[in-house]
Amino acid sequence: MSESGVIHDIGYQRYTGPRLGPGHSARALYVHSVRSAYGLGRSPWAKVLPIGLIGLASLASLIIVIINSQLPEPVLDQVGIASTFTFAAAVFVAVVAPELVSVDLRTNLVQLYLSRPLSRSSYALTKVAALATATFLLFAAPMLIMFIGMAFSTDDGVPGVLEEFGALLLGLLAAAVHAVLLAALGLPIASLSGRRVFATGMIIGVFLLTAPISAVLSELDSGTIGRLAGVLDPASLLNGVDQWLFDADVSLVSIGSFGPVYGLVTVALAVLGTMAAVWRYKGMKS
């Protein structure tokens, strides 16, 4: 392992065994972050909110399954779940993202991370990935419940189950898009403040404040501007992507023929957000 230039002996107990390298530290940090997002390995109080949110989402999905199985046409499909639960996921990001980065900042733990072989950019990328994974799980749990429920209530035997499985995969794909964008937006904002109060406030502020802006713009103009107003707010933007790529039934915005624009803005925002997170830690004193 070529790790010259890394000072391992920082005055604590000597260690002469094998060193696992930066890849391993990134993986360890990732696993730790995903676990702490759900409060695993923490006190019961830390588990209440994330587990409660995922429980609520699962309960809502269970109710939808029961309604779906009673009606001839399902009221909400897998992609619909992704679109409808965006706000719950935004709350989840606002609650969890400060947990992942603000606490490290406030307790000066980030300096300890950054003084070890783990590089600054991989710290930032790992945290974004962990937040995206945690958010994806929030979408995946209700989708899985819906798949199980719909598979059991299908009348077409094995083809029916396979059809539901296809819908599940499509839903999970939509969930991944949602999770990546929400994480890439939430994490850099959270990393601005060491206080959870303000980090949470800023994240949810972005989501709540932009929604009426795009609503008013699309109300005032029914042409191009109105169709494009949805890109200004993450929930409508993601719904636009769902409509364009996955033919979502739920429509929060009318995207017209501007689907590709919604897709492009989503990709651009996700990349920009991730870059902002990396850039935030680049210049940090350690």
Partner 1 sequence: MNPTIIRLTARALLGRRRVLLLLPMPIVLIGLTLLGVSSEDEYVTPSDWGPLVFSNLGLAVILPLTALIVGSSVLGLEIDDGTITHLITKPLPRSEIILSKLLVAWLVTTGATALPLAVAAVIAGSGTLAVGLVVGTALGALAYSALFLALSVMAKRPVAVGLIYIVLWENLLVSFVDGARVFSIRQHATTIADAIGDTPLISSTLSVPTALIMVSVFVVAGTVGATRRLRSFALTGEAN
Candidates 30, 47, 58, 88: give the one binding partner 1 (CB under 8 A): 88
Select the span of 124-132, 138-146, 213-221, 244-252 touching partner 1 (CB under 8 A).
Answer: 213-221
Select the span of 15-23, 71-79, 149-157, 204-212 touching partner 1 (CB under 8 A).
Answer: 204-212
Residues 110-149, one symbol each (x = binds partner 1 by CB under 8 A, - = not), give: ----------------------------------------
If the CB atoms of residues 88 and 151 are measured against partner 1, the closer one turns out to be 88
Q: Is 109 in the site for partner 1 (CB under 8 A)?
A: no
Among candidate residues 281, 282, 236, the one with its CA nearest the CA of residue 261? 236
Candidates 220, 264, 268, 271: give the one binding partner 1 (CB under 8 A): 220
Among candidate residues 165, 134, 173, the one with its CA nearest the CA of residue 148? 165
**Token pair of 204 as six digits:** 């949810």
Q: Is 107 in the site for partner 1 (CB under 8 A)?
A: yes
- Please identify which residue in the block is written with the tokens 């949470």: 200
Select the span of 25-33, 115-123, 165-173, 194-202 touching partner 1 (CB under 8 A).
Answer: 194-202
Q: Phi/psi of residue 71, each to 5°?
A: -95, 155
Select the span of 22-30, 44-52, 175-183, 247-255 touching partner 1 (CB under 8 A).
Answer: 44-52
Q: Is 40 in the site for partner 1 (CB under 8 A)?
A: no
Candidates 76, 81, 94, 175: give the one binding partner 1 (CB under 8 A): 94
For residues 76, 82, 88, 92, the Cα torsion angle rounded to the nearest 10 degrees is 150
Q: Is 108 in the site for partner 1 (CB under 8 A)?
A: no
Candidates 62, 217, 267, 269: give the one binding partner 1 (CB under 8 A): 217
Rounded Cα distance between 83 and 177, Å, is: 11
* Count of C-beta atoms within a 10 Å radius of residue 129: 20
Rounded Cα distance between 182 and 235, Å, is: 9
Q: How far is the CB of 222 from partner 1 (least distance, A)?
A: 8
Among candidate residues 95, 77, 91, 78, the one with its CA nearest the CA of residue 39? 95
For residues 186, 188, 189, 192, the Cα torsion angle rounded to the nearest 10 degrees is 150
Rounded Cα distance between 264 and 5, Å, is: 42
If the CB atoms of residues 53 and 248 are measured against partner 1, the closer one turns out to be 53
Question: Residue 270, SS3?
Answer: helix
Rounded Cα distance between 275 and 120, Å, is: 12
Q: Is 208 in the site for partner 1 (CB under 8 A)?
A: yes
Q: Integer distance in angstroms from the first to the last C-alpha of the chain?
A: 25
Q: How far is the CB of 221 from partner 1 (least distance, A)?
A: 7
How many residues bind partner 1, per CB under 8 A? Answer: 36
Counting every residue written for the chain, the total comes to 286
If the CB atoms of residues 84 and 126 are measured against partner 1, the closer one turns out to be 84
Rounded Cα distance between 236 and 253, Å, is: 6
Q: Which amino acid is at 115?
A: S
Q: How far is the CB of 246 from partner 1 (least distance, A)?
A: 23
Q: Using CB under 8 A, list all residues that contact partner 1.
A: 42, 45-46, 49, 53, 56, 87-88, 90-91, 94-95, 103, 107, 193, 195-198, 200-202, 204-205, 208-209, 211-213, 215-217, 219-222
